[in-house]
Amino acid sequence: MNIYSHLPSAPEALRLSKSLLRSFLGPRSTPAENQPTPIEFDVHINSDTGFFPPQPLARLTGPFEIWESALDEAKENLVLGDNDWDASKTQAGVEWRARVASVSTPPLSTSQSILTCHQWSVINTDGLQNLRQQQRAHMVLAWILSYYVHSMPPSTTSDDIIIPRSIAVPLVTVSNALRIAPILTFADTVLWNWELIDRTLPVTIDNMLFHTFSGTDDERNFYVTSARAELGGVEMLRIFNDYQNLPNVNDLTSISKTARDLNKLAGVIDQLTEVIKGVRAVVDPHVFYWEVRPWFEGSQSRGPDEPKWIYEDCAASDTVDLSGPSAGQSSVMHALDIFLDIDHKLKERRAPAPSSENKRSDTGFMERMRRYMPGKHRDYLTHLAASSRPIRALAIQSPAIREPYDAAVTALKKLRDQHIRIACLYIVSMSRTTPPAGCGCPVSAMMEKLEQERAADKAAAKGPSRGTGGNELALLLKAGRDATRRAMIKDN
Please tell me whether residue 477 binds ligand HEM under the rule CB under 6 A: yes
Is residue 250 at the binding interface for ligand HEM, with CB under 6 A as the rule? no
- Please state, in angstroms and rounded to a whole number, the distance separating the CA atoms of residues 435 and 289: 9
Q: Is residue 419 annotated as involved in ligand binding?
A: yes
Measured between alpha carbons, how far is 83 from 295 in angstroms, rounded to an integer?
13
Work out the burial of residue 289: count CB atoms within 10 Å of its CB; fewer than 13 is exposed, 13-18 middle, 19 or more buried: buried
Site for ligand HEM (CB under 6 A): which residue of 276, 373, 394, 488? 276
Q: Binding to ligand HEM by residue 220, rule CB under 6 A?
A: no
Q: Are 175 and 125 in contact (CB under 8 A)?
A: no
Give me the least distance between CB of 288 and ligand HEM, in Å please. Answer: 6
> Is residue 45 at the binding interface for ligand HEM, with CB under 6 A as the rule?
no
Q: How far is the CB of 349 from ligand HEM (least distance, A)?
A: 22
Binding span for ligand HEM by CB under 6 A among 115-123, 171-179, 275-283, 404-412: 275-283
167 binds ligand HEM (CB under 6 A): no
Q: How far is the CB of 131 from ligand HEM (least distance, A)?
A: 25
Contact flag: residue 342 with ligand HEM (CB under 6 A): no
Of the candidate spans 44-52, 173-181, 345-353, 470-478, the one that interacts with ligand HEM by CB under 6 A turns out to be: 470-478
Which 3-state string (H, E, C) describes 367-435? HHHHHHCCHHHHHHHHHHHCCCCCHHHHHHHCHHHHHHHHHHHHHHHHHHHHHHHHHHHHHHHHHHCCC
Interaction between residue 426 and ligand HEM (CB under 6 A): yes
Judged by CB under 6 A, does residue 224 bind ligand HEM? no
Minimum CB–partner distance for residue 376 and ligand HEM (Å): 20
Q: Taking CB under 6 A as the rule, does residue 413 contact ligand HEM? A: no
Distance separating alpha carbons of residues 49 and 241, to the nearest angstrom? 15
Q: Does 294 bind ligand HEM (CB under 6 A)?
A: no
Which of 183, 423, 487, 488 is close enough to bind ligand HEM by CB under 6 A? 423
Residue 363 found at the interface with ligand HEM (CB under 6 A)? no
Cα–Cα distance measured from residue 333 to residue 236, given in angstroms and rounded to the nearest whole number: 10
Q: Which stretch binds ligand HEM (CB under 6 A): 182-190, 323-331, 394-402, 449-457?
A: 323-331
* Distance (Å, whole) CA 177 – CA 454: 48
Q: What count of Cα atoms within 13 Å lies in the side-chain half-sphere of residue 483?
A: 26
**Cis ω for the linkage preceding 404 (within 30 of 0):** no
Q: Are strands 194-196 and 309-311 parallel, antiparallel or unpaired?
A: unpaired
Helix residue spans in 278-330 (DSSP H): 279-282, 285-287
How far is the C-alpha of 427 from the C-alpha of 446, rounded, in Å? Answer: 24
3-class state of residue 224 by DSSP: helix
Decide: is 226 part of the binding site for ligand HEM (CB under 6 A).
Answer: yes
Q: Is 431 in the site for ligand HEM (CB under 6 A)?
A: no
CB of 468 to ligand HEM, least distance (A): 4
What residue numbers does the annotated binding site for heme b cover? 419
Residue numbers in the known binding site are 419
Binding residues (CB under 6 A) for ligand HEM: these are: 222, 225-226, 229, 272, 276, 279, 283, 288, 326-328, 330, 333, 416, 419, 422-423, 426-427, 467-469, 471, 473, 476-477, 480
